[in-house]
């Protein structure tokens, strides 16, 4: 038995002995998650309800409403897909106890996110069947979910084990599908759209909740990348040229799907957003994700939305009790945005 292989494959370590820690980074992400605690009901929705129902001057345009609905339709079900993958696929194979502690925390945060979309649907009086069926009825949303499900489905087999090079590669593909592509790419056009609306002081309750989700997702992504990098470090034989090429191709496909989603959600370009600028942003994001898992960046795109990284660093108490949306603290460049 190879004693180096310890973050996955439970026969080599005791999943019940959390001390002494072997992976201090997992503890850092756990503590960050706990420090960022929030619940959707803390955010008042009155102004959103008024604006959503308003007619005439200053009301939401049909295109703005469509953009909001598309993002609610995507996120409402994507949060459940992510949560299910943690519990039904990842948790079984990641047997290191401090990583499992983090996965439990992440699962809780996904429940908070799921709850956020219930709260938004209730507050705005949306038809739940409409919102929760969009992931099957709306082709640009379905294409994203189908893509992640296709990359990851083999490890849902109850007999699947991470005991061969090929199976560890499949497991890493699942982690890339959910952490890097779903949470790291497919969430980001939506974040940019909803937070652009927030910057115009429109739908500020939903915007505030999207800020907290973005901050949580930043940690999920950081944990996922550390987990992927550790598995690769401990099992270097999986990191073949061919495997790396497949990962890069999947990320390129994901960027295309995300740009198509943004074009569908924003058909005429609103709020200074159009498909060109979203494409540049997605390419910038994809380069960051590639570099975070030790792959070469491919796009060399600039960042058209530097304000997105400021949002990640927001302070909860400031946002809840003092500010309105455009007054975020500046500085503090988080590694992810
Ligand atoms: Mn989430
Ligand atoms: Fe997440």
Annotated catalytic sites, by residue?
119
Report the share of the chain in percent with pLDDT over 90.
81
Residue 212 has pLDDT above 90, yes or no: yes
Rounded to whole angstroms, the Cα distance separating 190 from 182 reads 12
Mean pLDDT, residues 81-110: 96
The answer to whether 183 is annotated as binding is yes
Sign of the Cα torsion 205, 208, 210, 216 reads negative
**Residue 106: nearest ligand to its CA?**
2
Distance 11 CA to ligand 2 centre (A): 28
Rounded to whole angstroms, the Cα distance separating 165 from 112 reads 36
- pLDDT value of residue 315: 53
Residues in the chain: 337
- pLDDT value of residue 313: 64
CB 227 within 8 A of CB 95: no
Q: Which residues are paired to 94 by β-bridges?
A: 8
The answer to whether 50 is annotated as binding is no
> Which residues neighbour ligand 2 (ion) by CB within 5 Å?
183, 217, 220
Could you give the angle at which helices 275-292 and 241-265 cross, rounded to 10 degrees? Answer: 150
DSSP 81-104: HHHHHIIIIIHHHB--HHHHHHHH
- pLDDT value of residue 336: 46
Q: Would the pTM count as exceeding 0.85?
A: yes
Distance 219 CA to ligand 2 centre (A): 8
Burial label for 134, CB within 10 Å (0-12, 13-18, 19+), is: buried
Residue 213 has pLDDT above 70, yes or no: yes
Lowest average pLDDT, out of 16-20, 21-25, 58-62, 118-122, goes to 16-20
Provide the pLDDT confidence category of residue 314 given band limits of 50, 70 and 90.
Answer: low
- Give tens-digit pLDDT for 43-58: 999 999 999 999 999 9
Lowest average pLDDT, out of 17-31, 70-84, 187-201, 312-326, goes to 312-326
Sign of the Cα torsion 32, 213, 273, 264 reads positive
> Which residues neighbour ligand 1 (ion) by CB within 5 Å?
79, 110, 113
Mean pLDDT, residues 312-337: 44
Residue 320 has pLDDT above 80, yes or no: no
Half-sphere exposure (CA, 13 Å, Cβ side) for 175? 29
Distance 79 CA to ligand 1 centre (A): 5
**Residue 221: nearest ligand to its CA?**
2
Residue 333 has pLDDT above 50, yes or no: no
Mean pLDDT estimate for the chain: 90
The answer to whether 276 is annotated as binding is no
Q: Which of the given ranges, 219-223, 313-317, 321-325, has the highest pLDDT on average?
A: 219-223
Distance 105 CA to ligand 2 centre (A): 10
- Give tens-digit pLDDT for 2-14: 455 589 975 667 8
Distance 142 CA to ligand 2 centre (A): 19
Task: Compute φ and ψ for 273, nearest 5 degrees.
Answer: -105, 135
Q: Which helix (H) or strand (E) holds 15?
A: none
Name all domains of the chain by residue range, CATH numbers in brackets.
24-312 (1.10.620.20)
CB 156 within 8 A of CB 245: no
Mean pLDDT, residues 248-259: 98
- pLDDT value of residue 15: 84
């Amino acid at each position: 038995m190879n004693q180096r292989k310890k973050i996955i494959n439970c026969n080599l370590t005791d999943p019940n002995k959390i001390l002494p820690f072997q992976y201090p980074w997992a503890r850092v992400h756990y503590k960050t998650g706990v420090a960022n605690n929030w619940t959707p009901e803390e955010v008042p929705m009155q102004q959103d309800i008024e604006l959503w129902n308003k007619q005439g001057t200053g009301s939401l345009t049909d295109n703005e409403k469509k953009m909001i609905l598309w993002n609610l339709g995507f996120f409402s079900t994507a949060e459940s897909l992510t949560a299910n993958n943690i519990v039904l696929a990842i948790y079984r194979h990641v047997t290191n106890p401090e990583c499992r502690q983090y996965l439990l925390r992440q699962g809780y945060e996904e429940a908070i996110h799921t709850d956020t979309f219930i709260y938004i649907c209730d507050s705005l009086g949306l038809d739940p069947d409409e919102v929760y069926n969009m992931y099957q009825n709306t082709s640009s949303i379905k294409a994203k979910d189908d893509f992640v499900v296709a990359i990851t489905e083999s490890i849902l087999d109850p007999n699947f084990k991470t005991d061969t090079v090929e199976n560890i590669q499949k497991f890493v593909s699942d982690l890339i599908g959910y952490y890097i592509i779903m949470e790291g790419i497919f969430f980001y056009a939506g974040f940019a759209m909803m937070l652009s609306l927030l910057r115009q002081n429109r739908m500020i309750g939903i915007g505030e909740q999207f800020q907290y989700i973005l901050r949580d997702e930043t940690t999920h992504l950081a944990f996922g990348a550390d987990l992927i990098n550790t598995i690769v470090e401990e099992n270097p034989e999986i990191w073949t040229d061919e495997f790396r090429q497949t990962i890069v191709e999947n990320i390129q496909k994901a960027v295309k799907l995300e740009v198509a989603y943004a074009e569908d959600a924003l058909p005429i370009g609103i709020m200074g957003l159009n498909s060109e600028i979203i494409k540049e942003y997605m390419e910038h994001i994809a380069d960051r994700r590639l570099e975070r898992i030790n792959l070469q960046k491919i796009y060399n795109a600039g960042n058209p939305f530097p304000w997105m990284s400021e949002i990640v660093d927001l302070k909860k108490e400031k946002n809840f009790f003092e500010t309105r949306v455009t007054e975020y603290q500046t500085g503090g460049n988080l590694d992810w945005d």
